């Protein structure tokens, strides 16, 4: 997913503020879900919420004001109620940031883990 770095994304020195990489990654994961016909709003209506519960991140090089970045999201593991995304932020194929993001499927009312809905399992190519 292409991302342009704007002034709002940077600190006073013109370097992307570290937490904004996480925002870029959230957008890439949301777009991945959308591309695979997983509607997060519809999941909420069905009492299902997806949340980040663990994240590890390595910042390799800084992104700068006006950089054109590419942010990717790849599912690498799926469990009964969790999934792992490997995410990368690059500038012209140069690694800037890499993260492993684990998301959990929760009951939206109780905030307790629940199994993936059938339509999500289909996307992950897992049978119930």
What positions carry a catalytic annotation? 11
* 27: CB partners within 8 A, 6+ apart: 1, 3, 71
Give the whole-angstrom CA distance, residue 102 versus residue 34.
18
Residue 91 neighbours by CB distance under 10 Å: 16
Number of alpha carbons in the 13 Å side-chain half-sphere of residue 108: 12
Strand partners, 101: 55, 85
């Amino acid at each position: 997913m292409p991302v342009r770095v704007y002034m709002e994304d940077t600190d006073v020195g013109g370097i992307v503020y570290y937490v904004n990489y996480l925002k870029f990654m959230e957008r890439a994961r949301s777009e991945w879900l959308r591309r695979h016909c997983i509607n997060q709003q519809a999941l909420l209506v069905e009492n299902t919420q997806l949340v980040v519960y663990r994240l590890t991140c390595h910042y390799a090089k800084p992104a700068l004001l006006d950089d054109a970045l590419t942010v990717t999201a790849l599912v690498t593991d799926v469990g009964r109620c969790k999934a792992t995304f490997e995410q990368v932020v690059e500038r012209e194929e140069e690694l800037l940031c890499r993260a492993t993001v684990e998301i959990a499927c929760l009951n939206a009312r109780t905030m307790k883990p629940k199994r993936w809905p059938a339509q999500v399992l289909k996307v992950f190519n897992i049978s119930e």
